[in-house]
Amino acid sequence: MTHKKHIIILAAGAGTRMRSNKPKVLQPVAGRAMIEHVLATAQALKPNNISIVYGYRGDQLRSHLRYENIQWVEQTEQLGTGHAVQMALPQIADDETVLVLYGDAPLITVEDLQALEDKRTVLTAEVDDPSGYGRIVRGKTGIEAIVEEKDANTEQKAIQEINSGIIQAAATELKQWLKQIDQNNAQGELYLTDVIGIAAQAGQPFLPVKLQDSNSVKGANTMQQLAELDAIMQTRYRNSLMQSGVCLQQPENISIQGQIQCDADVVIETGAVLKGENKFGEGVVIGAYSVIENCQLAAGTVVEPHSVLQEVVTTGACSIGPFARLRPGTQLSTGCKVGNFVETKKAIFGENSKASHLSYLGDAEIGDEVNIGAGTITCNYDGVNKFKTVIEDGAFIGSDSQLVAPVTIGENATIGAGSTITKDTPANQLTVSRSRQKSISDWQRPKKKV
């Protein structure tokens, strides 16, 4: 066979047993649509071409998968796996080798597929409970036939070696054999698996390649099976993190929904949820029950428990939380502290600046060595537009102040506690905007009326 590979991903099925309005292959496993896992694996094999056979709610599928170099093949009526591959044949050149993958079987790995080498093969697995799968009937020189569960006799049903669905053959062979399949079977479908028997009769049998990890072939037809795939994928992710030296505390309680890159000595505590693409520098600690999504945290950053971080970048060691909420566009420099019940959004902090308690800091540019007292709020929104607050180096904002944007607090300025600041404040001076404290000597507490 040639080294020009054409991968066909079958994804036209409705997945009725999911009882969802989404096409089945868009259901997520470890934070990513099932078909995206399959696509990533397919792309890693560096094929010449990838075709996706789509049908049910194809518009949703196509708008979700905005990858380049995909050939889309519509299968308007789902007449079976053989029919699905027939639909893709006109796009396939005669000098290509065809590899068929399933969009609803996301656990297959690059190594699993490399085991097929460049031969006419079927990927198989030995399972305890083969029900529902096609059974592999072995002959002397290869596979004699694949028999679907619904067409199998008692003897065939007892076979525990099953068809993963993944097959590989030369395009010319497949084109020839697919012409010969028919719908004379229990389901009235055009089975791709019938090609295997036809090839054997032509004296060119497919070779079985048995997988070590039978989990790899699992697909999802129901929400229960989807949860099972998710658990297997997450276990793989956690194991690979631990193998690379990441310390996971109670790993089974940590949810990994995406990709993580870690330097040495990262610690992830129990209950953490890690979504999207995260990058953690040396010694980063993710506290218990924190949710971290698409963040880049520099070496030494410590996130205390119960914090929620989305699209946050730290450029040096910082302390975050407990109970902090850092929204997109938050950037912290070395030595910063964002403490409990502080919410930030598009807030850029210089070095050693601190907001230790109870604040909202949005659309803010904060210099170095700034101290923001408890209860400080940037009033960034007039109900229609957003405005920016600038706090220059060394400023001290007294507790419970409101900074009404647009406004600039000058370098080393001090704002008296409880101030409402509506105009720019000068550098190095104290600005207070509350009325002077007075005491009324002849005042009496009201008395209860009888």
Q: What is the SS3 string spanning the chain?
A: CCCCEEEEEEECCCCHHHCCCCCHHHCEECCEEHHHHHHHHHHHCCCCEEEEEECCCHHHHHHHCCCCCEEEEECCCCCCHHHHHHHHHHHCCCCCEEEEEECCCCCCCHHHHHCCCCCCEEEEEECCCCCCCCEEEECCCCEEEEECHHHCCHHHHCCCEEEEEEEEEEHHHHHHHHCCCCCCCCCCCCCCCHHHHHHHHCCCCCEEEECCCHHHHCCCCCHHHHHHHHHHHHHHHHHHHHHCCCEECCHHHCEEEEEEEECCCCEECCCCEEEEEEEECCCCEECCCCEEECCEECCCCEECCCCEEECEEECCCCEECCCCEECCCEEECCCCEEEEEEEEEEEEECCCCEEEEEEEEEEEEECCCCEECCCCEEECECCCCECCEEECCCCEECCCCEEECCEEECCCCEECCCCEECCCECCCCEECCCCCCCCCCCCCCCCCCC
Q: Are 278 and 258 in contact (CB under 8 A)?
A: yes
Q: What is the SS3 string spanning 68-113?
A: CCEEEEECCCCCCHHHHHHHHHHHCCCCCEEEEEECCCCCCCHHHH
Binding mask 183-202 vs Mg ion (x if CB under 5 A, - otherwise)? Answer: --------------------
Q: Does 206 bind ligand UD1 (CB under 6 A)?
A: no
Binding mask 229-268 vs ligand UD1 (x if CB under 6 A, - otherwise)? Answer: ----------------------------------------
Residue 6 vs 83, nearer CB to ligand UD1? 83
Q: Of Mg ion, ligand UD1, none, which one sits near residue 162, judging by CB under 5 to 8 A according to partner kind?
A: ligand UD1
Q: Does 191 bind ligand UD1 (CB under 6 A)?
A: yes
Which position among 83, 238, 325, 345 is part of the footprint of ligand UD1 (CB under 6 A)?
Answer: 83
How far, CA to CA in Å, does 107 sit from each of 2, 20, 113, 243? 26, 21, 11, 19
Residue 133 vs 360, nearer CB to ligand UD1? 133
Which position among 1, 8, 61, 162 is part of the footprint of ligand UD1 (CB under 6 A)?
Answer: 162
Q: Of ligand UD1, Mg ion, none, which one sits near residue 79, judging by CB under 5 to 8 A according to partner kind?
A: ligand UD1
Q: Does 78 bind ligand UD1 (CB under 6 A)?
A: yes
Q: Does 13 bind ligand UD1 (CB under 6 A)?
A: yes
Count the site residues for ligand UD1 by CB under 6 A.
Answer: 27
Which residue out of 64, 83, 306, 357 is catalytically annotated? 357
Q: Of Mg ion, ligand UD1, none, which one sits near residue 96, judging by CB under 5 to 8 A according to partner kind?
A: none
Residue 75 vs 278, nearer CB to Mg ion? 75
Q: Does 79 bind ligand UD1 (CB under 6 A)?
A: yes
Q: Of ligand UD1, Mg ion, none, which one sits near residue 177, judging by CB under 5 to 8 A according to partner kind?
A: none
Query: Can 357 be counted among the known catalytic residues?
Result: yes
Q: Of ligand UD1, Mg ion, none, which one sits near residue 81, judging by CB under 5 to 8 A according to partner kind?
A: ligand UD1
- Distance CA(319)–CA(330), nearest Å, equals 14
Q: Of ligand UD1, Mg ion, none, which one sits near residue 274, judging by CB under 5 to 8 A according to partner kind?
A: none
Q: Are 384 and 367 in contact (CB under 8 A)?
A: no
Count the site residues for Mg ion by CB under 5 A.
Answer: 1
Q: Does 219 bind ligand UD1 (CB under 6 A)?
A: yes
Q: Of Mg ion, ligand UD1, none, which one sits near residue 53, judging by CB under 5 to 8 A according to partner kind?
A: ligand UD1
Q: Does 12 bind ligand UD1 (CB under 6 A)?
A: yes
Q: Does 104 bind ligand UD1 (CB under 6 A)?
A: yes
Q: Does 101 bind ligand UD1 (CB under 6 A)?
A: no
Contacts of Mg ion in 202-261 (CB under 5 A): 219
Of 88-96, 188-196, 235-243, 308-316, which part binds ligand UD1 (CB under 6 A)?
A: 188-196
Least gap, CB of 10 to ligand UD1 (angstroms): 4
Least gap, CB of 237 to Mg ion (angstroms): 24
Contacts to ligand UD1 by CB under 6 A = 10-13, 53, 75, 78-81, 83-84, 102-104, 133-134, 146, 148, 162-165, 191-193, 219
Q: Which residues are the active-site residues?
A: 357
Contacts to Mg ion by CB under 5 A = 219
